[in-house]
Copies of this chain bind each other. A is one copy, B any other.
Amino acid sequence: MAENKEKTTIVLFSGELDKAIAAFIIANGAAAYDHEVTIFFTFWGLNALRKDDQVFVKKGFLEKMFAKMMPRGANKLGLSKMNFGGIGPQMIKHVMKKHNALSLPQLIELAQEQGVKLVACTMTMDLLGLQKEELLDGIEYAGVAAYLGDATDAKVNLFI
C-alpha cells in the first residue's frame, strides 16, 4: 500500500443499526475515494460482526448470558431512536429497500470487497465472551495499540 494514501478510521462502539449504517456509508465512501479505511469494532459494535447462525462454542455462564442478550449479527440490530420493540428497524429497512439503498449486510460485504479493514477489538471480545468462530470471516483481530497506530496516521478519525 502506498504511503501517501489518505487514511480514515472509525471506532464502531455502538451496536445500533442506524449508527452501523452511518459508519459503513462513511467507510465505503472513503474507500471509494481511495482512502485506506479501518473500522474498529468494540463493545456493542462487535454485534454487527456476529454470524447470523448460532455457533456452538464453550462459554461460561456470564458469557452465555451476554451472547443471548446481544443481537446476533447485522440483521438483528435495533435502532438508537424509535426502536418501538423492533418496528422501527423494519420501517428503516423498508424505506431503504424502497430507495434502493444497500442494507447493512450488503454494506458490510461492499466494505470487504473494497478492502476496508474490519478489526474486532480482542479485549472487548474477551469481556463479552465472543469468540472468533462467532464472527464473520475475513476480519482482523487487534487491540487499542493497533487502533492508535492507524488513527495517528489518519486525517479522519470518528467514534460512532
Looking at the complex, which of A26-34, A49-57, A111-119, A131-139 is the stretch in contact with chain B?
A26-34
Partner of A159, one of B126, B127, B148, B159: B159
**What's the number of copies of this chain in the assembled complex?**
3
Interface string of A24-62 (1 = CB under 8 A from B): 011001100101000000111000000000000000001
Interface string of A78-111 (1 = CB under 8 A from B): 0011100000000110111001010000000000
Say what secondary structure dominates the interface of chain A.
Answer: helix
How many Å lie between the Cα of A127 and that of B54 in the bound state?
Answer: 31
Knowing A19-B13, A42-B22, A66-B91 touch, does A156 contact B157 (C-beta < 8 A)? yes
Classify chain A: how many residues form its interface, as a range: 35 or more
Measured CB to CB, the closest approach of chain B to A125, in angstroms, equals 10
Measured CB to CB, the closest approach of chain B to A64, in angstroms, equals 12
Name the B residues within 8 Å of A94 (CB-CB): 62
How many Å lie between the Cα of A96 and that of B128 in the bound state?
Answer: 9
How many Å lie between the Cα of A85 and that of B131 in the bound state?
Answer: 27
Contact A70 B92 (CB under 8 A): no
Contact B101 A127 (CB under 8 A): yes
How many Å lie between the Cα of A92 and that of B44 in the bound state?
Answer: 12
Q: Is A73 positioned at the interface, with any CB of B under 8 Å from its CB? A: no
How many Å lie between the Cα of A156 and that of B151 in the bound state?
Answer: 6
Contact B11 A158 (CB under 8 A): yes
How many Å lie between the Cα of A43 and that of B96 in the bound state?
Answer: 12
How many Å lie between the Cα of A8 and that of B9 in the bound state?
Answer: 14
Measured CB to CB, the closest approach of chain B to A44, in angstroms, equals 5
Measured CB to CB, the closest approach of chain B to A15, in angstroms, equals 6
